[in-house]
Amino acid sequence: NSVFQGRSLLAEKDFTPAEIQYLVDFGLHLKALRHNNIPHRYLEGKNIALLFEKASTRTRAAFTTAAIELGAHPEYLGANDIQLGKKESVEDTAIVLGRMFDGIEFRGFKQADVEGLAKYSGVPVWNGLTDEWHPTQMIADFMTVKENFGHLKGLTLTYVGDGRNNMANSLLVTGSMLGVNIHIVAPKALHPAADVIAIAKKFASQTGAKPMVTDDIKAGVKGSNIIYTDVWVSMGETNWEERVKLLTPYQVNMDMMRATGTPDDQLIFMHCLPAFHDTNTKYGEDVKEQYGITEMEVTDEVFRSKYARHWDEAENRKHSIKAIMAATLGNLFIPAVPDLE
């Protein structure tokens, strides 16, 4: 059977660089099929469980619509709907869900939980975000980069902000797998953990990528093709005061975009979303009242600028998740994965 059949996507490092690149290209192919109304019902008759311990707009919407367009039935099981980890162990839940569903998506806190689901369910499990990794986001993100530049290798993507969260970890490792130079620009207290840097360096030595971790904004953003940021306080965290203080100098604004020195047609801005760029939410009003700021990780000016690609990136969540589900569970044959470009 094909190289992807029956496998789970729990963290990027579980796949080879060539396999990750294949999923990026397969996502672009499925996007073209969808935009041309060509059917691609590779999951006809399958049932997919969508487990969410944390809130989600994009991941839930992407998995739901992707499953339906692939011919499968998605079933949402929220934190208050099932007993997972409360009255019933991850192991027992996994065994039961594996008897009924053909595949399981999990978004939650602990990486160990998504790994437990994979271990005991016997069906493919896809990590829809944990505190450590956000692998499905990576396929969408590098689809977006490839759509813009036509290639991946040799580009420089600079992530500015909380260098210890799931997005920083995933970008550092996945970019290094794909030959993209990832710069993590963050205050020292928020630099990535040593084990994450070690994984990235191992892949970088295979692909020629040049990862960099620095607190020096000027050096970090220079020559970048992609400026990327994420929220300063991730789901499950509460350390607002500390983050606002540490990360205010790291806000993505027009001065930072210019500091790249990159020509306009070679420079884009990305954000996994949700973004804090104005006060048009209850959350925004609260932060303004408490900290006196109306913008956080990115200014509204950059968010609405010609550099912005986050809406394409959000759409690509759906096509990339289709690629991941179809490759690992679908009725299609992928004979071999071509080498990295």
The residues of the shown chain that bind ligand CP, judged by CB under 6 A, are 56-59, 129, 137, 272-274
Q: Is 174 annotated as a binding residue?
A: no
Other C-beta atoms closer than 10 Å to the C-beta of 149 total 16
How many residues can be counted in the chain?
341
Find the helix or strand (DSSP H, E) in which 149 lies.
helix 135-149
Q: Which does 166 bind (CB under 5 to 8 A by kind): ligand CP, ligand NVA, none?
A: ligand NVA
Q: Which does 57 bind (CB under 5 to 8 A by kind): ligand CP, ligand NVA, none?
A: ligand CP
Q: Residue 86 has which token pair?
A: 């409360």
Let me know if 102 is a catalytic residue.
no
Return the bridge partners of 74, or none: 48
Give the whole-angstrom CA distance, residue 52 versus residue 261.
Answer: 41
Let me know if 134 is a catalytic residue.
yes
CB 208 within 8 A of CB 175: no
Let me know if 304 is a catalytic residue.
no
Give the whole-angstrom CA distance, residue 129 versus residue 110.
Answer: 9
- Identify which of residues 72 and 231 has a Cβ nearer to ligand NVA in the complex: 231
Q: Which of 191, 277, 317, 319 is flagged as catalytic? A: 317
Among residues 129, 36, 102, 60, the alpha carbon closest in space to that of 330 is found at: 102
Q: Residue 116 has which token pair?
A: 């437990």
- Identify which of residues 54 and 210 has a Cβ nearer to ligand NVA in the complex: 54
The Cβ-side half-sphere exposure at 59, using a 13 Å CA radius, reads 26
Q: Which of 113, 131, 137, 183 is flagged as catalytic? A: 137
Q: Report 253-272 residues binding ligand NVA (CB under 6 A).
A: 272
Q: Is 84 annotated as a binding residue?
A: no
Binding region for ligand NVA (CB under 6 A) out of 35-43, 96-104, 108-116, 164-172: 164-172
Let me know if 271 is a catalytic residue.
no
Let me know if 230 is a catalytic residue.
yes
Angle (nearest 5°) at CA 61 between 57 and 65: 175
230 binds ligand NVA (CB under 6 A): yes
Work out how close the CB of 258 gets to ligand NVA at its nearest, in angstroms, rounded to a whole number. 26
Alpha helices in 178-294 (DSSP H): 194-207, 217-221, 240-247, 254-259, 282-291
Catalytic positions:
107, 134, 137, 230, 272, 317
Which residue ranges make up the site for ligand NVA (CB under 6 A)? 129, 165-167, 230-231, 234-235, 272
Known binding residues for carbamoyl phosphate are: 56-59, 83, 107, 134-137, 272-273, 317
